[in-house]
Amino acid sequence: MNIAMDVSIMAQCRTGTEEYTEGLVWGLNRIGLSVVGVGQGGQALLPDRPCLGIQVKSKRTAWEKVRWERWGLRRSIQSDVDVVHIPYMTHPPKPFRIPSVVTVHDLIPYRLKQYHSRARERAYFAQVRKNLRAASHLIAISEATLADVQSIMPELASRISVIPNGIAAAYFSPADTDQVQQVARRLGLERHPRILYAGGYDVRKNVGTLVKSAAQVLHRLGGELVLVGAKGLSTVESQVHELGIVDQVVTTPWLSRDDLVTLYQSSDIFAYPSIYEGFGMPPAQAMAAGVAVVAGDNPAVREVVADAALLVEPTKMEAWVDALTQVIENPALANRMVAIGKERSRELAWDVIAERYQAVYQQLVNS
């Protein structure tokens, strides 16, 4: 079976959608499916390379993106493929001549007002919703996302199934002591307990609550807070200054996957205060890397971590202080969380998840 994968979104592998696409292609390749990339100038996909080995020449404009989604993708599909998969929420206005699959990661633009405040954004997402009716099948990456689709877009509910995101193989790698020490020195990491956050910094990620909570914990118990990707973000750095924890907070630029895996492995707690998610990839990665997870209690993250993490009301600072303190002061609890998390994460390895995609593709081709 040959799968045409829309890789037009691939840029620097900093977003969850890019990482999802990379992992899915890797997983499909591992189970023997042929995947052809469309949307990056005919570049061959290299599943074992970061970002699939794609070299992005320039960032697309908004018009180029719309033009690709409406017309360009359709014109790029060759006659020798069996299924076209669009790994993010879009579809041309009309059906393809072959089955098409669309991945729905979340319904943020429809649920959260701050993500569709402009008329142009509302018009774009209204068109996306209309066009999704032309897809043969949709994949929701969590039961939480499925519930959102059933509530907000009930006309699509009969053609959607749930397949969770996968975790890249690198996160399951055993820690290399020398590598851990090298990365710690390079990033200026010096203290334990080490609380780590990796993810975005938009409003729904709720990082400010984590910083305030961690400040109380750090003042009392010592240690450090590491914020990946926050270097140069004035809102974060000014908050750190106001709280008087400059010496105990390390902000880094965006890191390579190897560095991020090593950072997970060298941390004592992974904290994820997000208010709304479609899945929650960072907590899943942290579990695979062997870190105790404390996370905001929202439906998608609850589904991902199951009973492997401490879940906290996202905006209640006192609850965050209590949870972080509990994990730090109770090594037996932390060790138990790590063990359960590792077991849970094995169910989300990409080669396991890819088999579920293969079943969907086969069913569509045979129908």
**What is the pLDDT, as a whole number, of residue 357?**
98
Contacts for 255 with CB less than 8 Å, ≥ 6 apart: 228, 229, 263
2-166+349-366 is classed CATH 3.40.50.2000: yes
Distance from first CA to last CA of the chain, Å, rounded?
A: 15
Q: What's the confidence (pLDDT) of residue 320?
A: 98
- Do 2-166+349-366 and 170-346 show the same overall fold? yes
Tokens 């999704």 locate to: 132
Q: Mean pLDDT for each 10-residue chunk of the chain (367 residues)?
A: 94 84 96 94 88 82 91 92 97 96 95 79 93 98 97 96 96 93 94 96 95 96 96 93 94 93 97 96 97 97 96 97 98 97 96 97 95
Q: How many CB atoms lie within 10 A of CB 341?
A: 25
**How buried is 157 (Cβ within 10 angstroms: 0-12 exposed, 13-18 middle, 19+ buried)?**
middle
Among residues 172, 234, 231, 170, the alpha carbon closest in space to that of 198 is found at 231
pLDDT reported for residue 14: 75
- Quickly tell me which residue has 């042929």 as its tokens: 34
Indicate the burial class of 170 (C-beta count within 10 angstroms; 0-12, 13-18, 19 or more).
middle
What three-state secondary structure class fits 75?
Answer: helix
- Quick one: pLDDT at residue 182? 94
Does the pTM exceed 0.85?
yes
Domain boundaries, the chain: 2-166+349-366, 170-346
Q: What CATH homologous superfamily does 170-346 map to? A: Glycogen Phosphorylase B; (3.40.50.2000)
Cross-strand pairs, 225:
195, 249
How many CA within 13 A on the CB side of residue 325? 14
Alpha-helical segments (H) within the chain = 16-30, 62-67, 73-76, 108-111, 119-131, 143-152, 177-187, 207-221, 234-243, 257-265, 281-289, 299-305, 317-329, 331-346, 350-366
